[in-house]
Amino acid sequence: MRQSRAGLSGGVWAIEVKVELKGYLSRYAPPAAVNGRFSLEVLPGSTVKNVLEKVHLSEKYVGLVLINGQKARILDRLHQDDTVTIFPVVAGG
């Protein structure tokens, strides 16, 4: 398992996850993101909710979450090299 310390203080190890923000949620991606895709360092034991908080994205805009292509919940824990895909709420009629 590859871990790094970059960006985190106090000697705490971090894990890296890949994040994909779909549709209009891509506006919450950092400037260096490509098509809403970017890597993010989080603390071990972090959840999808922690990712949302880190990119300043409210849960109310989230319609579907996938971790490595499998349906997931906001409080599911993340692991090194996971890919988190977040789809917006879809409304219409």
DSSP 6-74: TT--TT--BEEEEEEE-GGGGGGS-TT-BTTEEEEEE-TT-BHHHHHHHTT--GGGEEEEEETTEEE-T
pLDDT band at 92 (very low <50, low <70, confident <90, very high): low
pLDDT on residue 3: 47
List, for residues 37-84, the tens digit of each pLDDT value. 999 999 999 999 999 999 999 999 999 999 999 999 999 999 999 999
pLDDT on residue 10: 55
Distance CA 23, CA 8 (A): 29
3-state secondary structure of 81: coil
pLDDT band at 12 (very low <50, low <70, confident <90, very high): low
Give the predicted TM-score (pTM) of the model.
0.84
Contacts of 83 (CB under 8 A, 6+ apart): 17, 18, 19, 20, 66, 67, 68, 69
List, for residues 19-40, the tens digit of each pLDDT value. 999 999 999 999 999 999 999 9
